Structure 1
Amino acid sequence: MREAEALRAAYDGVTAVLSPLSPMELLAPTRCHGWTVADVVHHLTEDARRALVALATPADGPATRTFVTYWSPGPAPAPDWESAERAAAASAWAARRAASVAREPGLLVELWRSTSAAAVHAALDARHAFVATQGHVLTVPDLLTTLATEAVIHHLDLLLGLPATPEPAVATLDGLLARHGGVRPPDWDVEDYLLKGAGRLALSTTDRTALGATAGLFPLLG
């Protein structure tokens, strides 16, 4: 299945970044504000665990979400920057506490390596048409695309430079914009698109002019 191979490539890309890092390098900050590398590793491992549960949880169709609408819980409330900052800080703090259960940071990488490999194996062996996850029903290909998208975005959090397989994340952002009649500004390269779509880079005045009404949708991924 093409989506399973995309997930394998996305997870292998993360593993390749993490494997040479020392324990102290795993405590370095990332593009995900307030998160260390170890925090991101723990978060991705939990996502791979969710994949294992979802792939073992067949559901009756039809799907209630696609790989695009999975990221769209509903209309966003009016912006409250103080509340948003507090929520982001609380999320980073929760990630730090969760990751700290490991005796040392290197063990998180070993757990990621084994869990992500198991998730890929389950994806390649998937036999169900629909699965349940987080209160939604998705087709297996759409589930795998959401997982690959998350891995691509967090791969970017970990390093400078573009992951080898950004296509699932790009397709997701394209779909989210298209739902509201928007398109990517032509002068954005893929890396800019991913970083701005995930809220890692702020939109400039020029960006907001190019996006028009769809600028209010950013960041497209929470």
Structure 2
Amino acid sequence: MDLFSRSWTALRTAVAELPDEDFEQPSGCTGWLVRDLVCHLVIDAQDVLITLVTPSEAEATVNAVTYWNVVEAPTGDDPLDALTVRLAAAYEEPRLLKFHLDDVGSAAGRAAELADRTARVSTQDQILTAGDYLSAYVMEWTLHHLDLIAELPHVAGPPAEGLARSRAMLEEIAGSAFPGSFSDEDALLVGTGRRAPTAAEIIELGPLAARLPLALG
């Protein structure tokens, strides 16, 4: 199973196994509860489906790494973030969110398995191969899996392979490696601003510390 499928399956499985009360816990995304994050995953799955059926004959403009832009750190005030919160509340019951994620998420997973990885697709005014697009989404699934478990230590985390690949992509975006003493999870959390570095970590990071966090969008 490739990293997209493995990471996506692990994330969907973690959501499917959550008890209802966990949906009201904070997530690792600023201003979002777990239910809001799960609603965002439904939208992500729809984006995957849309992109994989939006072919392009143009030359690729980005790859799996340059697909990502460094953006302003989220504050929770963005109109689209607020819309996600309202959509999540409209589901009313966690089982409905679970059902919709399983339904659309399974379809996105099947579409990924059937996709021609060499074919070029278009998304957000960029062109890239389907393979690069799906590789980029390993980062999306991995970071959001970490967001899911931020306040839920009893929930299984993302696959080790996805963590390692996401760290490698983040290091390429940063143009610098994280210290070897950082676990893959810590490199991703600190690197994207999901956790503030400790005083000791700031010293270890050296010049890289001044360029963090790298919020991705």
Q: What TM-score does the superposition give when structure 2 sets the normalisation length? A: 0.85
| 1:103 Cα deviation from its structure 2 partner | 3.7
1:189 to 183, 192, 197: 183
Listed as ranges, the matches of 1:17-28 within 5 Å are 17-28=14-25
2:84 to 95, 113, 117: 95
| 1:206 Cα deviation from its structure 2 partner | 3.6
Residue pair 2:41, 2:101 contacting (<8 A) in 1 also: yes
| 1:210 Cα deviation from its structure 2 partner | 3.3
Unaligned runs of at least 5 residues, structure 1: 78-83
* Inter-partner Cα distance in structure 2 for 1:162 and 1:219: 22
1:151 aligns with 2:104: no
* Inter-partner Cα distance in structure 2 for 1:109 and 1:15: 9
* Inter-partner Cα distance in structure 2 for 1:186 and 1:72: 25
Q: Which residue of 1 aligns with 2:192?
A: 198
Q: Which residue of 2 aligns with 1:68?
A: 65
The more displaced of 52-61 and 124-133 is: 124-133
2:169 to 153, 168, 172: 172
- Provide the aligned C-alpha RMSD in A: 2.2
Residue pair 2:5, 2:109 contacting (<8 A) in 1 also: yes
% identical equivalent positions:
32
Amino acid at match of 1:101: A
Amino acid at match of 1:151: W
Unaligned runs of at least 5 residues, structure 2: none
* Inter-partner Cα distance in structure 2 for 1:6 and 1:169: 10
Q: Which residue of 1 aligns with 2:158?
A: 163
Q: Which residue of 2 aligns with 1:59?
A: 56
* Inter-partner Cα distance in structure 1 for 2:122 and 2:67: 12
Q: Deviations over 1:106-155 (max 9, x none)?
A: 21111111211111111111135210011111111110012221111111
Residue pair 1:27, 1:105 contacting (<8 A) in 2 also: no
1:37 aligns with 2:8: no
* Inter-partner Cα distance in structure 2 for 1:155 and 1:144: 16
Q: What TM-score does the superposition give when structure 1 sets the normalisation length? A: 0.83
Residue pair 2:32, 2:76 contacting (<8 A) in 1 also: no
| 1:54 Cα deviation from its structure 2 partner | 0.5
The more displaced of 198-207 and 187-196 is: 198-207
